[in-house]
Amino acid sequence: MRWVKCLSTTTHNRDLLLVAGDVAETNNNFVSTMSLLKERFQHVFFVPGNHDLWCRWDTDHSLGSLEKLDTLLDPCRGLGVETNPADTDGLGIIPISWLD
């Protein structure tokens, strides 16, 4: 988290970042990290990794894998983090993981 916070908010503001899963150990840290990354990069794509579904959850521990996945993807949508295929400046990005 310290490293993410140290990233410039201006140096990469026109760049695309592909986050290839296994972001954080807790759901709250996941949301915080993705928010910070979105503040620093113009485009952020997230591809869920297997460890993202192993996050420690602050509330209900009985969520199934698909419900946990939705719990990660919902804040991404709200933050403007891409989780679906998109065309960005003529470059097609298709963020597919083993979960798809």
Question: 35-91, pLDDT tens digit by residue?
Answer: 999 999 999 999 988 777 776 655 656 677 778 788 889 999 999 999 999 998 898
**pLDDT confidence of residue 71:** 84
96 in a structural domain: no
22 in a structural domain: yes
19 in a structural domain: yes
Count other C-beta atoms under 10 Å from residue 19's C-beta: 21
34 in a structural domain: yes
Q: What is the pTM of this model?
A: 0.85
89 in a structural domain: no
- On the 0-12 / 13-18 / 19+ scale of CB atoms within 10 A, 72 is buried
What b/e string do you get for 29-68 counting C-beta neighbours within 10 Å, with b at 16 or more?
Answer: ebbbbbbbbbebbebbbbbbbeebbebeeeeeeeeeeeeb
**pLDDT confidence of residue 56:** 64
In terms of residue numbers, what domain contains 72? 2-84
15 in a structural domain: yes
Provide the domain count of the chain: 1
Distance CA 1, CA 30 (A): 10
